[in-house]
Every structure is written in structure tokens, then in C-alpha cells.
Amino acid sequence: MIIPDDARSSLADAFAASLRERDAQATEEQLTQARDKAFRSPLLLLAVATMGEPAGDIPPPSGCCRPAARSRTSC
């Protein structure tokens, strides 16, 4: 899925919240660094993987993301 530019602020907040959840002692500098990750690249892609057998059709994404390509591979 492609993460559009207007969704990067929400992604930045999610990165900071995830860090805070993993490390309650994270400094403001570390939280800022986590947020900054959402803005580093000109294009952000999100890969979604299912481990194991697929559980049927996967519904199209909704909300802030849109599919970049739809494919299923197995390892």
C-alpha cells in the first residue's frame, strides 16, 4: 500500500506511540526521531503479509492507504 503525504502525520504519531509503548523511558529526542521516520522518504510503501495459509479474500483497504499492487506470494 502507498502511504499518501497527507497521512504521514498520523503515521508519525503511530511511530511515537509505538516507541512509547515499548519504552516508557523514551526521551523527547527519541520520540522526535521516531516521528521523523514518517517524513524521510519521498515515497512510503506498507507491506502487509499473512503468515500461513490465506484465510479467503482480503477486503480492499479503507482509510488513509491505497493498494500499490495486489499479489500473493508464499515462501
DSSP 19-39: HHHH-TT--HHHHHHHHHGGG
Tell me the domain boundaries of the chain: 1-75
> What is the per-residue pLDDT for 62?
61
**Rg of the chain over all Cα atoms, to the nearest angstrom:** 15
> pLDDT (tens digit, 9 = 90+) per residue, 15-67?
999 999 999 999 999 999 999 999 999 999 888 776 777 666 766 656 555 55
